[in-house]
Chains A and B, each alone.
Chain A
Amino acid sequence: MAADAYTFIFAILISLVNLFLQVFFTIMYSDLECDYINPIDLCNRLNNYVLPEAAAHAALTIVFLLTGHWIVLLLNAPIFAYNAHKIYTNTHLLDATEIFRTLKKHKQESFIKLACYLVFFFLYLYCMIAALVRED
């Protein structure tokens, strides 16, 4: 199998992980809205996953960069830039004191990321199959 196929298998795995994380985030946010969880627990729990998610995505982006997959790199660049900006300005962690005021924004972000990762997942799948087919 070619390097291409391996790259995309890796990409599929990462995007699966991120997909599940975003689903988890979304569920937690709606739990908060329905008062099933209190904001302190929510923030403590979710904040553990914010950096891993960003790191996984960053790793994937770098892999694309190194392997020269320019189109998918371009597609991933906005999310990468957004995450980097949040971490740089130290606003990536959830703040239990402000969570109810910013919940709408967080939910929106989570939905958009969810949609992106879903699209990317199928894109990577297609790319992987295409790479495998090309191989044959």
Chain B
Amino acid sequence: MSQEHPEQGSSSKRRVYPQQQYDFAAAQPAGYSMPDPTQPYGASASPSAAMYGGAHAIPSPAAFQPHTANVQSGAFAPPPGTPGSAVDPPVAPGVAGGMAYGAPQAAGAAYGYQGLTNQMGNLNIGGGGAYQGGAPPGAAGGAHMAAPTQLNQIYNTDLLQNFPPPISDLTLPPPPVILPPGSSVTGNPDPNADSEFMRCTLNTVPTSSSLLKKSKLPFALVIRPYTALRDADENVPTVADTTIARCRRCRSYINPYVVFLEGGARWRCNMCNLTNDVPSGFDYDAVANKPRDRWSRAELNHSVVEFVAPAEYMVRPPQPLVYVFVLDVSVHSVKNGLLATAARTIKESLSRIPNVDNRTRVGFLAVDSSLHYFAIPRKEDVAEGEGEEGEENEWPEPRMMVVSDIDDPFLPMPTDLLVNLSQCKGGIEKLLDSLQSMFAHTVNPASALGSAVVAAHKLIANIGGKIVCLTSTLPNVGQGKLEVRDDKKALGTSREGQMLQTASTFYKSFAVECSKTQVTVDMFLFSSHYQDVASLSNLPRFSAGQTYFYPGWIASNPEDANKFALEFSEYLSQELATEAVLRVRSCDGIRMSAFYGNFFSRSSDLCSFSTFPRDQSYVIEVNIEETIVKPWVTFQAAILHSTASGERRIRVITRAFPTSALLQDIYASADQIAITTYLANKAVEKALQKGPQDARDLLMNRLNEMFTCYKKDLMTTNVGASAPLQFCTNLRMLPLLVNALIKHIGFRKTSQIPSDLRSAALCLLSTLPDKYLIQYIYPNFYNLIFMPDEAGLPDAETGQIVMPPCTNLSGEHLISHGLFLIDDGQVMFLWVGRDAQPALLQDVFGVSSITEVPTGKTELPVLDNQFNERIRNIISKAREKTDAITYQHLYVVREDGEPALRLWATTHLVEDRVEQSGVTYHQFLTSIREKLNS
């Protein structure tokens, strides 16, 4: 992909389309100019800053972060003017606030940005005492907080006045974690783990479970152990000397928050307060054979470190990576080209499969109504790792053995079915080349996938590894056979929940079997008919794999083939860890109570992963069992695993959070992104147990509870008769995200979504890392004709493509002559308005009229003009990632085009009604307010 387009000379100007100029004037009186990047008073003013409801003036639009305001010194800027006085009489609460600005803006740029902010500030104060004032310094946290540390302040926002929601909040970092000075043992300024690795729903931890219960906020950790698919893209320090200091009692690892005692001879564990001896090699550099400075040790300076583990941490020597490909060779897969594409992709990616020490092994198994094993003979005279190239023709032919006993599959021969990748590369390539021709004339519609997985498991059970299933047929014979149970009439009813559950217990019980033998099953599903994703996804779910669903995939469509090839190649190249276990430890009185994600819970606090994927995150619910007396608590996640290169390692992620006994501190430091991640996982669990209706109810109830609690206990100001809907500023995106989640394809109330799509969406919702999860719930929406001049071009300093600002996902922004991009991280829509100008169409698509614009799955043509290049840059930038394998399809949607496609695209506009039964976000908020005030 072409990320790095050289700028086409600074003189080339953005083309302005006549309609666009016309609309500047037309759009203003309509009143939705606030969030529109075309506002005449300076394009740099970000909508979020302008709409921010806090009374204190923010000098810079980028500086919206009330909770960061000088927490250390405890000072905050007094509000300009007198809060709560002068209310502009004609301004009514609600959207009217936004509308009222239509007039002054249209009158020209008479109001400077600063003036506008002040106006907005006053306006919101009038709306309902937006500024509550901070807690007095020192009051927070009781006696032990006597230090000058002050926790985050609570700020109120009136959600109905702060409308449309300032979506730039979604990309903000979580509320800062404010630890008392000197809490870490070294002078490292930032000993806390990055919020990317671990985030907590409550960045200030309540001291008692009664407070937690009262707050109605969930208490959970979101853990994402890896932030890149490959080690090269990650920067985690390694402790290589195998001196691992751990607490004798609670087994936690030494970290930046311990205390050294007795001149450094002993250390006190920050979790359980036990005093431990410092191990003998701790201050000694075994490589250079001389004493070393203790304070330079990585585990005391960084809270994400990787220890190289000694032999005590191994049950057996680190296993080699093993991949068994289970290929569907029934007529469906041959016809839609899956077999050929998969074989070609595997062949092309053989060199990308992690294989540093030449131990990686692969095996192939084809399945229709019988099992086809392939013996790949080893060529004796070829030396390891060299000499295969150029001699491919001399490789002996791979042999195929067909076993038709699918009820009790067995291995036809003991060797050669699982071969060393380096030693047998030529034979593997030969096999992959011939696969398509072997099965080209098959007419067999059956698939014994279950039996094939059992056979593949037999093949690798003594080593462990990955079973990669690629299938486009419903497994209809053999073990774990499934039936078509897709009942269109049941969709949208209470019976829908059953279709999300597994139809055969085989897929669960076999997942347990896989987990016992360190085997992971990954599913790549391609059916254009019902495939029972709900049942099949259980194998990956409980064996730490993933389900990848390509509905209606067909290789003759170059976009489909390209997407799968790119994703599968990325998938194969990720550096897998094997035989992993994850355990999270914390201080006394805190217990991990529930675990969400794809893995098997081997004991009450131990998650086991046969192989550890790098693109998933996990949610762990936390319980407070005893009152916490410490001023701050630490959480430590440790992942013991074997790397792809055959080392046993422990990745330790430590984070500390302050505690408080005050409800407002808890709310002021709550992290809306983490809460949404937790709620999504919780809702997925509910949907899988009971059905989407219960999941929606759960989301709604949790949100209502928070609002009720906030209103009852934290709104001290007299709100008057108008009764605004107030919530704390750091959580002001939460209602939007919950509303978007309720409208999400996984939970939406509708009878239009096939259960396969729904199951696949639920799989994603419970595994995506927060960054992609939020995008999946609330997609990025770019207005491509009103974007800033620099958008779509490489940044002068970093060389990265600048993305245009996101717009609120509301249909009112879809102006009829516009061009828009909606990107939910899984699929992208390029929306072409019905009145799009011919010049625009010419530039982007190279066609002169809207009827000629190609719709559906496609790619943009490469044209020699800057606008086309910028849009292509933006699209490829949106697809560029180092921490996920997804490559989004691009759908071009014409406003006057195919209704189904248009409807699909508009269901992503989650601030509007989605399908027949939904409510707009504004109505959603109003209904919460009514419920709250009744």
Contacts and interface: CB of A to CB of B under 8 A. Distances in A.
A39 B511 contact: no
B542 A97 contact: yes
Contacts of A32: 603-604
A39 B508 contact: no
Nearest to A98: B508
B512 interface: yes
Contacts of A101: 594, 685
Nearest to B599: A97
29 contacts: A32-B603, A32-B604, A33-B604, A35-B604, A35-B605, A35-B606, A38-B602, A38-B603, A39-B602, A39-B603, A40-B512, A90-B505, A95-B505, A95-B508, A96-B508, A96-B512, A96-B600, A97-B511, A97-B512, A97-B541, A97-B542, A97-B600, A97-B601, A99-B601, A100-B594, A100-B595, A100-B601, A100-B604, A101-B685
B857 interface: no
B734 to A, nearest CB: 25
- Return the 5 tightest CB-CB contacts between A and B, nearest first: A35-B603, A97-B542, A96-B512, A100-B601, A97-B508
Contacts of B542: 97
Contacts of B508: 95-97
Contact of A40 (B505, B516, B604): B516
A32 B603 CA distance: 7
A93 B508 CA distance: 12
Contacts of A33: 604
A50 to B, nearest CB: 14
Central interface residue in B505, B603, B605, B606, by most chain A CB within 10 Å? B603
B516 A39 contact: no
Contacts of A90: 505
Interface in B486-517: 505, 508-509, 511-512, 516
A96 B608 CA distance: 13
Contacts of B601: 39, 97, 99-100
Nearest to A103: B604
Contacts of B594: 100-101
A93 B512 CA distance: 14
B683 to A, nearest CB: 14
Contacts, number: 38
B616 to A, nearest CB: 17
A48 to B, nearest CB: 15
Interface in A33-66: 33-35, 38-40
A32 B600 CA distance: 15
Interface string A21-33: 0000000000011
Interface residues on B, range: 10 to 19
A35 B603 CA distance: 6
Interface in B610-636: none
A5 B542 CA distance: 52
A21 to B, nearest CB: 23
Interface residues on A, range: 10 to 19
A93 B511 CA distance: 16
A105 to B, nearest CB: 11
A80 to B, nearest CB: 24
A61 B639 CA distance: 52
Nearest to A32: B604
Contacts of A40: 512, 516
Nearest to B601: A100
Interface in B694-733: none
Interface in A103-119: none
Given A38-B602, A97-B538, 14 more contacts: A33-B604, A34-B604, A35-B604, A35-B605, A95-B508, A96-B508, A96-B512, A97-B508, A97-B511, A97-B512, A97-B542, A97-B600, A100-B601, A100-B604
Contacts of B602: 38-39
Contacts of A38: 602-603
Contacts of B600: 96-97
Interface in A72-110: 90, 93, 95-97, 99-101
Nearest to A37: B603
B432 to A, nearest CB: 34
Nearest to A40: B512
Nearest to B605: A35
A95 B504 CA distance: 13
Nearest to A43: B512
A75 B354 CA distance: 64
Contacts of B606: 35
Contacts of A93: 505
A97 B594 CA distance: 13
A96 B603 CA distance: 10
A55 B62 CA distance: 70
A132 to B, nearest CB: 47
Interface string A1-37: 0000000000000000000000000000000111100
Contacts of B509: 96
A100 B606 CA distance: 11
A31 to B, nearest CB: 11
A24 B606 CA distance: 24
B542 to A, nearest CB: 5
A32 B602 CA distance: 10
A35 to B, nearest CB: 4
B586 to A, nearest CB: 17
A90 B505 CA distance: 10
Nearest to A99: B601
A78 to B, nearest CB: 23
Central interface residue in A32, A34, A40, A93, by most chain B CB within 10 Å? A40
B606 to A, nearest CB: 8
Nearest to B508: A97
A40 B512 CA distance: 7
A38 B509 CA distance: 15
A69 to B, nearest CB: 37
Central interface residue in B512, B538, B595, by most chain A CB within 10 Å? B512
B820 to A, nearest CB: 42
Contacts of B538: 97
A16 to B, nearest CB: 32
A55 B601 CA distance: 31
Contacts of A95: 505, 508
A66 B509 CA distance: 39
A51 B198 CA distance: 44
A95 to B, nearest CB: 6
Interface string B578-606: 00000000000000001100001111111
A128 to B, nearest CB: 41
Nearest to B688: A98
A38 B600 CA distance: 11
Central interface residue in A32, A90, A97, A101, by most chain B CB within 10 Å? A97
A32 to B, nearest CB: 7
Interface string B511-555: 110001000000000000000000000100110000000000000
A100 B604 CA distance: 7
Contacts of A34: 604
Contacts of B541: 97
Interface string B138-171: 0000000000000000000000000000000000
A35 B605 CA distance: 9
Contacts of B505: 90, 93, 95
Contacts of A100: 594-595, 601, 604
Nearest to B603: A35
A34 B604 CA distance: 8
A35 B602 CA distance: 9
B241 to A, nearest CB: 31
A102 to B, nearest CB: 9
A38 B605 CA distance: 11
A38 B508 CA distance: 16
A93 B516 CA distance: 19
B622 to A, nearest CB: 15
